[in-house]
């Protein structure tokens, strides 16, 4: 992977209601972009408000501890941008949005597939990435599905969208976004924690590499970091290291206001840490 892996920010259209938004001064905006960088083995990005529509960029690559070569296994994602908000709608982390409600179309907040990946034909979505509750629950062990479905039906689920892909190294990725009526219902969701029983991975443990990154990450005082990451709404888990020839599954859980993200990666042998963490962080930024 080369320095070309960094793509420019996709500029968003101007706000429909300019009176409700105060754009950042040029000098402040330059400082925000200068703050973008990778720390430890995970990316930290700045989200830049630009009227009602707003964009994010992919970070510049720097040397990572233990992964100092240019080809550290990171995937090359296309330039990312958040969808336009309805006129007058607040940002999810705005001061006037205490419940952190996402007003943007949920499909627009889905992480795109990285370059070179093929769509996962096994993921049951329609052309708009909408997913039924039953299709989503196929990610779970059969004896866990009935209880999870009952919870989703009675605990405020509004919509599920998803995207799946397979990269050339054989890693399969499924990203789901579940929108609930409020953040309180997200907190009640029991389908994304260390006790989760996935299909083919009934036992999970904490992702220690992620825990180490979080504990050793240097202070980011004065920098704009992901609200989802900094607020503790992110947890990563993994299937214990499998025997030779078997598959490993990793699970990423993101809580962001009224949205719960569930990221499942599976690969023969072992799921690589860097692209897994990268995928979680980028999806976090789209929700932040």
pLDDT of residue 184 exceeding 70: yes
* Domain residue limits at 17: 3-220+231-287
Rounded to whole angstroms, how far apart are CA atoms 202 and 200?
A: 6
Nearest to 91 by CA among 257, 220, 284: 257
Give me the sign of the Cα torsion angle 130, 135, 140, 146: positive
What is the enclosing helix (H) or strand (E) of 118? strand 118-119
pLDDT in tens, 87-127: 989 888 888 898 889 999 999 999 999 999 999 887 877 66
Cβ–Cβ contacts within 10 Å for residue 142, how many?
10
What is the enclosing helix (H) or strand (E) of 205? strand 205-206
Paired residues of 255 in beta bridges: 260
pLDDT in tens, 122-160: 787 766 689 999 999 999 999 999 999 999 998 899 999
- The tokens 């990285």 sit on which residue? 114
Cβ–Cβ contacts within 10 Å for residue 205, how many?
11
With respect to residue 193, please indicate whether it lies within any of the assigned structural domains: yes
C-beta of residue 12 within 8 angstroms of C-beta of residue 50: yes
With respect to residue 226, please indicate whether it lies within any of the assigned structural domains: no
The mean predicted confidence, pLDDT, of the chain is: 76
Higher pLDDT, 49 or 162: 162
Rounded to whole angstroms, how far apart are CA atoms 31 and 49?
A: 13
Q: Please tell me the total count of domains within the chain.
A: 1
With respect to residue 225, please indicate whether it lies within any of the assigned structural domains: no
């Amino acid at each position: 992977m080369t320095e070309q892996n960094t793509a420019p920010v996709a500029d968003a259209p101007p706000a429909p209601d300019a009176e409700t938004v105060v754009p950042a001064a040029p000098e402040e905006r330059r400082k925000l972009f200068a703050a973008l960088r990778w720390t430890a083995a995970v990316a930290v990005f700045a989200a830049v408000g630009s009227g009602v529509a707003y964009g994010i960029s992919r970070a510049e690559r720097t040397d990572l501890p233990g992964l100092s070569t240019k080809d550290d296994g990171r995937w090359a994602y296309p330039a990312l941008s958040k969808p336009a908000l309805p006129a007058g709608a607040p940002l999810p982390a705005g001061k006037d949005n205490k419940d952190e409600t996402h007003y943007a179309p949920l499909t627009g907040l889905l992480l795109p597939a990285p370059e070179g990946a093929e769509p996962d034909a096994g993921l049951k979505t329609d052309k708009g990435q909408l997913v039924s509750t039953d299709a989503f629950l196929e990610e779970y062990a059969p004896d866990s599905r009935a209880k999870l479905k009952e919870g989703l039906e009675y605990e405020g689920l509004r919509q599920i969208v998803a995207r799946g892909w397979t990269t050339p190294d054989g890693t399969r990725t499924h990203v789901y976004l579940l929108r609930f009526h409020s953040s309180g219902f997200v907190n009640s969701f029991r389908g994304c924690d260390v006790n989760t029983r996935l299909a083919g991975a009934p036992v999970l443990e904490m992702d220690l590499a992620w825990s180490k990154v979080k504990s050793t990450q240097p202070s980011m005082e004065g920098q704009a970091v992901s609200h989802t990451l900094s607020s503790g709404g992110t947890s990563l888990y993994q299937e214990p290291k499998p025997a030779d020839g078997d598959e490993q599954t990793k699970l990423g859980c993101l809580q962001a206001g009224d949205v719960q993200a569930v990221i499942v990666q599976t690969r023969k042998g072992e799921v690589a840490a860097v692209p897994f963490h990268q995928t979680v962080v980028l999806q976090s930024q789209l929700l932040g």
